[in-house]
Protein backbone atom coordinates (compact mmCIF):
# COMPACT_ATOMS: atom_id res chain seq x y z
CA UNK A 1 0.00 0.00 0.00
CA UNK A 2 1.35 3.40 -0.96
CA UNK A 3 1.72 5.99 1.75
CA UNK A 4 -0.67 8.74 0.67
CA UNK A 5 1.42 11.40 2.42
CA UNK A 6 4.41 10.68 0.20
CA UNK A 7 2.45 10.80 -3.07
CA UNK A 8 2.50 14.22 -4.67
CA UNK A 9 -0.33 15.34 -7.02
CA UNK A 10 1.92 14.65 -10.02
CA UNK A 11 2.51 11.04 -8.88
CA UNK A 12 -1.20 10.31 -8.46
CA UNK A 13 -1.64 10.28 -12.24
CA UNK A 14 0.91 7.46 -12.48
CA UNK A 15 -1.36 5.12 -10.54
CA UNK A 16 -4.43 3.73 -12.26
CA UNK A 17 -7.41 5.01 -10.29
CA UNK A 18 -9.53 1.97 -11.19
CA UNK A 19 -6.80 -0.28 -9.80
CA UNK A 20 -6.91 1.54 -6.47
CA UNK A 21 -10.72 1.28 -6.38
CA UNK A 22 -10.64 -2.43 -7.22
CA UNK A 23 -8.20 -3.28 -4.42
CA UNK A 24 -10.45 -1.36 -2.03
CA UNK A 25 -13.50 -3.28 -3.24
CA UNK A 26 -11.71 -6.63 -2.97
CA UNK A 27 -10.89 -5.87 0.66
CA UNK A 28 -14.53 -4.98 1.39
CA UNK A 29 -16.16 -7.99 -0.32
CA UNK A 30 -15.39 -10.51 2.49
CA UNK A 31 -16.69 -8.02 5.09
CA UNK A 32 -19.88 -7.44 3.11
CA UNK A 33 -20.45 -11.19 2.73
CA UNK A 34 -20.07 -11.66 6.47
CA UNK A 35 -22.43 -8.74 7.08
CA UNK A 36 -25.06 -10.25 4.75
CA UNK A 37 -24.79 -13.62 6.53
CA UNK A 38 -25.41 -11.98 9.90
CA UNK A 39 -28.41 -10.04 8.59
CA UNK A 40 -29.92 -13.13 6.94
CA UNK A 41 -29.50 -15.09 10.16
CA UNK A 42 -31.05 -12.27 12.20
CA UNK A 43 -34.01 -11.95 9.82
CA UNK A 44 -34.50 -15.71 9.83
CA UNK A 45 -34.58 -15.79 13.63
CA UNK A 46 -37.03 -12.89 13.80
CA UNK A 47 -39.38 -14.52 11.30
CA UNK A 48 -39.44 -17.72 13.35
CA UNK A 49 -40.69 -15.98 16.50
Distance CA 7, CA 5 (A): 6
C-beta separation of 15 from 2 below 8 A: yes
Give Cβ neighbours of residue 39 (< 8 Å, ≥ 6 apart): none
**pLDDT (0 to 100) of residue 28:** 82
pLDDT in tens, 2-43: 555 565 666 666 666 666 667 777 788 888 899 999 999 999
C-beta separation of 1 from 15 below 8 A: no
pTM: 0.42
Amino acid sequence: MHDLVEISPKDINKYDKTEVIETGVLEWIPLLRQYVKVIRYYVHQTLRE
